[in-house]
């Protein structure tokens, strides 16, 4: 349990450290770990294998020396020719640099010949006396600690143990020297490989993190409101794709900001125009009331006085006829003024009928026929706000066509489908360049277009205009309906 707790704590600390350092540090640490850890493992494994191989060779060498010397000394041991035995032992020293001692013992365990002095022989026999008198009929090997180095001792029987045995001690100093030399060489190689890897990793991290740092700087600048920074694409890899995506994002943000700023400017302009339009409308109503309605009422007052002063009934009837004509004209003027302010048919009869009545009035006023088509609009519930919005947009589109298009025919389509109300106003006039008109500062044509767009957006709709010089103009309006339209097949109404 404690081990699991400590392991979780260490993992958490390592994870926190990894999250708190830079990418360059992470890559460098990873490269160092990939160089050092495998290097240590390979060095240790190689060292273990070399030690095992060299020790096996040393064991084979000890058995070979013991076998060769034992074969040469068998007869001499039986004859007890000590002098010749010593000569053979001295001769064995000339061809075996790892040889540390050779002992020839008789069957009783007494030393007959030795390559070392008597002091070593006595100490050796005292230390290993019990072992010397053990089974002497087979080869035996063991490691003997001689102080400065370990010695591999090989014991071989002479004549099957009947004449005694021979002990050969081979030192491991040269073996360990070889192992240590190889280890140092491996360490140097791995250190060089690690240094080369670190240098390559440093260059790689610089190459990889340079665009990332540039991206971070550009993001920080964008956070401060500076959207002019762009990240240079140094490659077509994932980082290059990230830089391209960031540049595209910044451009989109700039475009959205420009749109918002333009929309805000247009909104301010629109509010100013609304206030101005309200004042103009009030002036117009006041002027018409003063110039037409007030004068007509004054004429009625004068006419009534004249009726009172009529000398006879015939003159009175004639004057009453004039008053009736003046009163009718005044009533018509008041009705027209009321229609201009708010079409009563829109409230009383609905959108379609109001548009049909306006189309008749439009044809009489401007001399341009308006063809209205209504598809699938039966039983489609429209709120007063929605009806007013559609009516004013169609009215503005028709007024613009009369003022600027010089057209001879206009068609209006209203259709409800898939819970969407679609309105299309199309004329065959001279057309215009939409991009140029919307991009040339603020003017009255822009005011009308943006007014229609604002009205559409207020009810969640969308308005688009398609036009080109000499190809007429088409206004598309799409507004989501609050409820599903009737599933019954609609009946098309056509009015010219």
- The DSSP result for 198-222, as a single string, is HHHHHHHHHHHHHHHHHHHHHHHHH
Max avg pLDDT among 122-131, 251-260, 283-292: 251-260
Residue 64 CA: distances (Å) to CA of 40, 168, 283, 344: 36, 10, 131, 127
- Which residues 6+ apart lie within 8 Å of 400 measured at CB? 445, 448
Mean pLDDT of 238-260: 82
pLDDT at 447: 64
For residue 178, pLDDT over 60 is answered with yes
Residue 363 has pLDDT above 60, yes or no: yes
How would residue 16 be classed by pLDDT, with cut points 50, 70 and 90? Answer: low
Give the whole-angstrom CA distance, residue 134 versus residue 131.
5
pLDDT level of residue 482 (50, 70, 90 thresholds):
confident
Q: Does domain 12-173 have CATH number 3.40.630.30?
A: no
**349-495, CATH topology level:** Heat Shock Protein 90 (3.30.565)
Beta carbons of 300 and 323 less than 8 angstroms apart: yes
| H-state helical runs in 80-112 | 82-94
- Give the start-to-end residue ranges of the domains of the chain: 12-173, 349-495
pLDDT of residue 339: 64
User: Is the distance from CB of 102 to CB of 112 less than 8 angstroms?
Assistant: no
For residue 243, pLDDT over 60 is answered with yes
pTM: 0.45
Mean pLDDT of 84-110: 83
Cα separation, 473 vs 426, in Å, equals: 6
Which of 29-33, 122-126, 410-414 has the weakest average pLDDT? 122-126
Gap between the terminal Cα atoms of the chain: 90
- Mapping DSSP to helix (H, G, I), strand (E, B) and coil, where does residue 421 land? strand
Within a 10 A sphere around the Cβ of 256, how many other Cβ atoms?
10
pLDDT band at 150 (very low <50, low <70, confident <90, very high): confident
How far is residue 87's CA from residue 71's CA, in Å, rounded to a whole number? 15
pLDDT at residue 149, as a whole number: 77
Q: What CA–CA distance (Å, rounded) separates 343 from 365? A: 16
Cβ-defined contacts of 155-158 (< 8 Å, 24+): 155/66, 156/63, 156/66, 156/67, 156/70, 157/70, 158/70, 158/73, 158/74, 158/77, 158/104
Mean pLDDT of the chain: 78
Which tokens go with 223?
């956070």
* 439 band by pLDDT with thresholds 50, 70 and 90: low
pLDDT at 475: 93
The length of the chain is 496
Picking from 182, 284, 271, the residue whose alpha carbon sits closest to that of residue 450 is 271
Q: Environment class of residue 103 by beta-carbon count within 10 Å: exposed (0-12), middle (13-18) or buried (19+)?
A: buried
């Amino acid at each position: 349990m404690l081990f699991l707790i400590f392991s979780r704590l260490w993992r958490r600390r390592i994870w926190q450290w990894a999250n708190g350092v830079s990418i360059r540090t992470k890559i460098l640490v990873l490269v160092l770990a990939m160089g050092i850890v495998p290097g240590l493992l390979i060095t240790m494994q190689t060292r273990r294998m070399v030690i095992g191989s060299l020790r096996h060779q040393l064991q084979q060498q000890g058995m070979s020396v013991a076998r060769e010397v034992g074969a040469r000394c068998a007869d001499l041991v039986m004859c007890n020719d000590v002098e010749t035995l010593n000569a053979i032992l001295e001769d064995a020293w000339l061809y075996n640099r790892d040889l540390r001692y050779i002992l020839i013992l008789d069957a009783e365990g007494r030393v007959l010949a030795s390559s070392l002095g008597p002091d070593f022989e006595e100490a050796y026999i005292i230390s290993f006396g019990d072992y010397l008198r053990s089974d002497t009929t087979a080869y035996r090997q063991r490691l003997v600690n001689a102080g400065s180095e370990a010695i591999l001792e090989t014991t071989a029987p002479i004549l099957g143990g009947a004449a005694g045995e021979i002990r050969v001690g081979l030192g491991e100093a040269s073996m360990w020297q070889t192992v240590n030399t190889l280890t140092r060489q491996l360490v140097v190689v791995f250190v060089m490989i690690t240094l080369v890897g670190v240098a390559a990793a440093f260059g790689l991290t610089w190459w990889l993190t340079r665009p990332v740092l540039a991206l971070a700087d550009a993001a920080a600048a964008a956070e401060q409101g500076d959207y002019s920074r762009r990240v240079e694409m140094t490659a077509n890899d994932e980082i290059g794709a990230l830089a391209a995506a960031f540049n595209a994002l910044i451009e989109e943000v700039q475009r959205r900001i420009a749109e918002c700023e333009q929309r805000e400017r247009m909104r301010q302009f629109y509010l100013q125009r609304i206030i101005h339009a309200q004042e103009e409308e009030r002036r117009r109503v006041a002027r018409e009331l003063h110039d037409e309605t007030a004068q007509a009422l004054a004429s009625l007052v004068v006419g009534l006085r004249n009726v009172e002063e009529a000398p006879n009934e015939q003159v009175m009837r004639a004057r009453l006829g004039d008053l009736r004509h003046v009163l009718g004209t005044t009533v018509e003027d008041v009705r027209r003024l009321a229609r201009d302010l708010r079409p009563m048919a829109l409230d009383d009869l609905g959108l379609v009928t109001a548009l049909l009545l306006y189309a008749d009035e439009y044809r009489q006023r401007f001399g341009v026929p308006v063809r209205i088509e209504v598809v699938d609009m039966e039983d489609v519930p429209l709120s007063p706000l929605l009806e007013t919005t559609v009516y004013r947009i169609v009215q503005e589109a028709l007024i613009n066509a009369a003022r600027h298009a010089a057209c001879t025919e206009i068609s209006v389509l209203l259709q409800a489908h898939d819970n969407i109300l679609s309105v299309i106003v199309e004329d065959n006039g001279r057309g215009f360049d939409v991009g140029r008109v919307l991009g040339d500062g603020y003017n009255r044509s822009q005011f009308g277009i943006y007014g229609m767009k604002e009205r559409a957006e207020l009810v969640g709709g969308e308005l688009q205009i398609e036009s080109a010089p000499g190809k007429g103009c088409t206004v598309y309006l799409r507004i989501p309906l609050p409820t599903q339209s009737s599933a019954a097949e609609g009946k098309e109404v056509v009015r010219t």
